[in-house]
């Protein structure tokens, strides 16, 4: 597989009135096409900053981030960030509307996604009428609608209850595997990192440096729940736990 | 519908009726006691007037064909200054939001203008604009404009940071963020600023009418005072109370329509 993103010697400093803060230091990483990776690390270590840099939201840094040509990236945030004054359908196509990309093909894909996640019948309702899990599903549809090559997930499941969390992270897992999307997931949840990804990157506390890279190999990759049952799960958990322990 | 649900719905209805009953009760008792106290001579009819005398004064005004002119004049002044004030306030709030540096520079001046009692500017306004409707509208405008700017601008600043980030990750430009996110997010605050604005405008218009007018409800009150016709003064106050309530209600109806889904 080819590299889709290559990060070389990335460093990022923040300037505040109190002084300069080193957020990321000498960070190197290569991400392959279709790979799902997780970034775990102590809170405040700079995980989200890393995503902002990769996505181009934040353009001030030292080092190099190189991408394969013409990549489309989409972000999914901790909050569903739905717009309550728009209908469910209008929310789903928001990204397409902003990018003036409302082609027939894209709209058909949105219809397919709405059907897939049982939101089709509520198309003309407003987000107010949805449960927390359904809202995050709609946020997922909005993210996928622009047919991104890379999904940047910034703790997207952390505001959900356990059940919704498992169901929705499995939705995301399934569709990313099926459509061979590259995913970078930022999380503080070890369980999520193991069950969701092909590689777990453990970060040190600030400034963020790579502490360990753990490739995850499981026998049955059909779903998050199946991966959770895998005999290797506990071993991986202990490894990451140990790595993080020294950091807290 | 289960019997429990029926009971629940019925209770909501009964509660609503109860509230209305007590509201009517308070207003009727208030006017009744007022009427009785004046008619039995406990309060002087000359100073305190009475509900029956107020009704008679208003009927006389209607008979003289003056009634609707006064209401029309006051309403016209209120609407003109309200519309100019809120639209200008809205535009200035957008400018301040789009240019944070300007907002920081202007901050102390806005605060100063906000706390300055605008009535103090009355004499100056009259000298500049003359003793006419223009002065009244300018007076009301000065009062509601600053409040509109500050309320709407603060509403813009409350825009959810996740939603802002979402738009930025979609590479939305400034105009798209403003029209698709910041303004719709602030519907609630904008309506609140209307509510504040209409009350402020009424204050401004009446103050203006006190100073210069020849017509309008403010004029009725001042004129009533000058000729010691306190029935006229009281009628003016009652009419004002009614008008301000109706204007406020109209905005509440608008609010319900606009904010149905939020």
pLDDT at position A248 is 56
pLDDT in tens, A160-189: 888 888 888 888 888 888 888 899 999 888
For residue A207, cis peptide bond before it (omega within 30 degrees of 0): yes
Smallest CA-to-CA distance from B147 within B202, B184, B74, B105 is with B202
Smallest CA-to-CA distance from A202 within A152, A247, A147 is with A247
- Residue A50 in tokens: 């890393």
Residue B257's pLDDT band, with cuts at 50, 70 and 90, is confident
Task: Check: CB of residue B136 under 8 Å from CB of residue B79.
Answer: no
Write down the pTM of the prediction: 0.85
Residue A221's pLDDT band, with cuts at 50, 70 and 90, is confident
Task: Determine, for residues A84 and B261 on separate chains, whether the beta-carbon distance falls below 8 Å.
Answer: yes
> What is the dotted CATH code of the domain comprising B49-258?
1.10.3720.10
Give B-chain residues touching A98 at CB under 8 angstroms.
Answer: 167, 170-172, 176, 180
Look at residue A90 and tell me whether its pLDDT is greater than 80: yes
The ranges assigned to domains in chain A are 82-148
Chain B residue whose CA is closest to A51: B169
Residues in a beta bridge with A184: A37, A152
Chosen for mutation from A51, A75, A81 (greatest number of chain B CBs closer than 10 Å) is A81
pLDDT in tens, A93-141: 999 999 998 999 999 999 999 998 888 899 899 998 888 888 988 999 9
Q: What does the mean pLDDT of chain A come to?
A: 87
pLDDT at position A22 is 83
Give B-chain residues touching A54 at CB under 8 angstroms.
Answer: none
pLDDT at position A161 is 85
Look at residue A239 and tell me whether its pLDDT is greater than 80: yes
pLDDT at position B179 is 94
To the nearest 10 degrees (0 to 180), the angle between helices B187-212 and B217-226 is 30
pLDDT at position B247 is 93
Phi, psi (5° rounding) for residue A31? Answer: -120, 130
Phi, psi (5° rounding) for residue B44? Answer: -75, 130
Smallest CA-to-CA distance from B89 within B23, B154, B133, B14 is with B154
Chosen for mutation from B165, B176, B255 (greatest number of chain A CBs closer than 10 Å) is B165
Residue B55's pLDDT band, with cuts at 50, 70 and 90, is very high
E-strand stretches of A124-181: 150-154
pLDDT at position B165 is 92
Smallest CA-to-CA distance from B206 within B164, B167, B241 is with B241
pLDDT in tens, B11-48: 999 999 999 999 999 999 999 999 999 999 898 988 89
Q: What percent of chain A has pLDDT over 70?
A: 98
Higher pLDDT, residue B17 or A246: B17
A vs B: CB pairs below 8 A:
48
Q: What percent of chain A has pLDDT over 90?
A: 23
The rounded distance, in Å, linking the Cα atoms of B222 and B229 is 10
pLDDT in tens, A60-83: 888 888 888 778 889 888 888 999
Rounded mean pLDDT of A10-18? 85
Look at residue B65 and tell me whether its pLDDT is greater than 80: no
pLDDT at position A247 is 59
Rounded mean pLDDT of A16-36? 86
Q: What does the mean pLDDT of chain B come to?
A: 92
DSSP B30-78: HHHHHHHHHHTTSS-HHHH--HHHHHHHHHHHHHTT-HHHHHHHHHHHH
Residue B94's pLDDT band, with cuts at 50, 70 and 90, is very high
Give A-chain residues touching B261 at CB under 8 angstroms.
Answer: 84-85, 126, 128
The rounded distance, in Å, linking the Cα atoms of A183 and A187 is 12
The ranges assigned to domains in chain B are 1-43, 49-258
Task: Determine, for residues A77 and B162 on separate chains, whether the beta-carbon distance falls below 8 Å.
Answer: yes
Higher pLDDT, residue A220 or B218: B218
The rounded distance, in Å, linking the Cα atoms of A62 and A66 is 13
């Amino acid at each position: 597989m080819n590299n889709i993103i290559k990060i070389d010697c990335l460093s990022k400093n923040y300037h505040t009135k109190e002084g300069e803060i080193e957020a990321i230091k000498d960070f190197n990483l290569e991400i392959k096409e279709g790979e799902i990776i997780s970034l775990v690390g102590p809170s405040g270590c700079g995980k989200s900053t890393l995503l902002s840099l990769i996505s181009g939201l934040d353009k001030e840094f030292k080092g190099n981030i190189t991408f394969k040509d013409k990549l489309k990236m989409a972000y999914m945030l901790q909050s569903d960030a739905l717009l309550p004054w728009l209908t469910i359908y209008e929310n789903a196509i928001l990204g397409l509307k902003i990018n003036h990309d409302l082609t027939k093909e894209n709209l058909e894909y949105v219809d397919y996604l709405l059907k897939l996640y049982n939101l089709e019948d509520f198309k003309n309702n407003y987000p107010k009428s949805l449960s927390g899990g359904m809202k995050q599903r709609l946020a997922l549809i909005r993210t996928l609608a622009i047919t991104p090559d890379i999904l940047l997930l910034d703790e997207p499941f952390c505001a959900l209850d356990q059940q919704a969390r498992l169901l929705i992270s499995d939705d995301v897992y399934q569709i990313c595997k099926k459509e061979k999307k590259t995913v970078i997931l930022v999380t503080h949840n070890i369980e999520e990192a193991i069950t969701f990804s092909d590689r777990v990157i453990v970060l040190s506390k600030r400034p963020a440096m790579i502490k360990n890279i753990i490739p995850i190999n499981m026998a049955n990759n059909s779903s998050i729940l199946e991966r959770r049952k895998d005999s290797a799960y506990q071993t991986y958990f202990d490894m990451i736990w140990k790595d993080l322990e020294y950091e807290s | 519908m289960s019997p429990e649900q029926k009971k629940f719905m019925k209770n909501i209805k009964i509660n609503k009726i109860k509230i209305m009953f007590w509201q009517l009760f308070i207003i009727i008792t208030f006017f009744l006691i007022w009427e009785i106290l004046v008619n039995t001579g406990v309060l002087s009819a000359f100073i305190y007037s009475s509900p029956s005398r107020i009704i008679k004064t208003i009927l006389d005004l209607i008979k003289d064909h003056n009634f609707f002119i006064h209401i029309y004049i006051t309403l016209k002044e209120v609407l003109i200054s309200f519309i100019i004030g809120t639209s200008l306030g809205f535009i200035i709030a957008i400018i301040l939001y789009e240019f944070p540096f300007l907002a920081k520079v202007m901050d102390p001046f806005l605060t100063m203008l906000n706390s300055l009692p605008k009535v103090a500017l009355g004499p100056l306004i009259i000298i500049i604009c003359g003793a006419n409707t223009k002065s009244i509208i300018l007076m009301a405008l000065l009062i509601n404009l600053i409040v509109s700017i500050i309320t709407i601008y603060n509403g813009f600043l409350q825009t959810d940071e996740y939603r802002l980030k979402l738009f930025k990750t979609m590479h939305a430009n400034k105009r798209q963020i403003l029209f698709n996110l910041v303004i719709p997010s602030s519907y609630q605050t904008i309506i609140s600023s209307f509510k504040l604005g209409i009350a402020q405008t009424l204050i401004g218009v009446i103050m203006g009418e006190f100073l210069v007018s020849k017509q309008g409800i403010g004029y009725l009150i001042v004129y009533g005072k000058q000729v010691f016709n306190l029935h006229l003064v009281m009628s003016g106050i009652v009419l004002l109370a009614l008008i301000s309530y109706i204007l406020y209600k109209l905005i509440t109806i608008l609010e319900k329509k606009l904010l149905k889904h939020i």
